Amino acid sequence: MTASDAPTTVLKLGGSVITDKDRPEALDGPALDRAADAVADALSAGEVSDLVLVHGGGSFGHYHASEHGVSKTEGSGEARAAVEIHGAMKTLDDFVLARLHDRDVPAVPVHPFSAAYRDEAAALSLMTEQVETMLGEGFVPVLHGDVVAHAGEGVTILSGDEAVTAVATGIDADRVGFCSTVPGVLDDDEAVIPEIESYDEVAPFLGESDATDVTGGMAGKVRTLLDLGAPATIFGPDALREFLAGEDPGTRIDGR
């Protein structure tokens, strides 16, 4: 928990939302501007206070990761490959920080490659005491998808979603939001399912997700979020202001 008693929010900005996935290392500047505007407005209106941001890799991380054949399970022992993927993510992070600073959001970076590792069983450990200290000082910590050292594998990819769940668990977040390219979890008629409390409710639409789903697909995401210990909301870019104002647009996932 942070020093203050204000609720703590973790907000993920999907890599597909803030970058142009069709071109390597291409920012979607207008989309990032709109997200940064929403965050700045919600902070200055006092709608949120203790806020942690996480962004995905989008066309920055994914391009270099696939160039080097690195995934969440397939590692690389090449330092140059690790630093190239990490560097691309830091470049995207610099864009995100700059747009936030332009709007007086006190954003500071937390690079997971420096603060996390996986053990031989692939279990992730992420330090979060520095994040809590930053929140206590009024900063907005910004994490992102990255590479992480992985015992026996060199480095593997840490997805933005994994960073979200690790940091939300570590700081005992009260709310978690995923701003993605879809408006929520969809049923067979492409309608947004407003609330999910167990996987059985949505298995007909998402299929029988198992533990080997590491593609970041919706089935694995829903399973992970049901186990999170805090309510999570999946929504589209147009609903970001609503989420920051305390509402639950899109799909609310709460397995507690």
Using DSSP, state whether 59 is helix, strand or coil.
helix
By C-beta, is 86 or 221 nearer to a copy of itself? 86
Interacting residue with a copy of itself among 35, 42, 92, 97 (CB under 8 A): 97
Cα 38 from Cα 40, distance rounded (Å):
6
In the list 51, 89, 155, 239, the residue contacting a copy of itself (rule: CB under 8 A) is 155
Binding residue (CB under 8 A) for a copy of itself from 111, 169, 192, 214:
111
Number of helices (H), then strands (E), in the chain = 10, 12
- Tell me: does residue 38 bind a copy of itself (CB under 8 A): no
- Binding to a copy of itself (CB under 8 A): which residues in 196-255? none
Cα-trace Rg, the chain? 17
Q: Does 140 bind a copy of itself (CB under 8 A)?
A: yes
Q: What is the per-residue binding string for a copy of itself in 39-78, x denoting contact by CB under 8 A?
A: --------------------------------------xx
Cβ-Cβ contacts under 8 Å for 2 (sequence gap 6 or more): 8, 50, 132, 135, 136, 171
- The DSSP string of 145-202 is -EEEEETTTEEEEEPHHHHHHHHHHHTT-SEEEEE-SSSS-B-TTSPBP-EESSHHHH
The 10 Å Cβ neighbour count of residue 100 is 22
Q: Which of residues 152 and 207 has its CB atom nearest to a copy of itself in the complex?
A: 152
User: Which residue ranges make up the site for a copy of itself (CB under 8 A)?
Assistant: 3, 77-80, 82-83, 86-87, 90, 94, 97, 101, 105-119, 125, 127, 129-130, 133-134, 136-140, 148-155
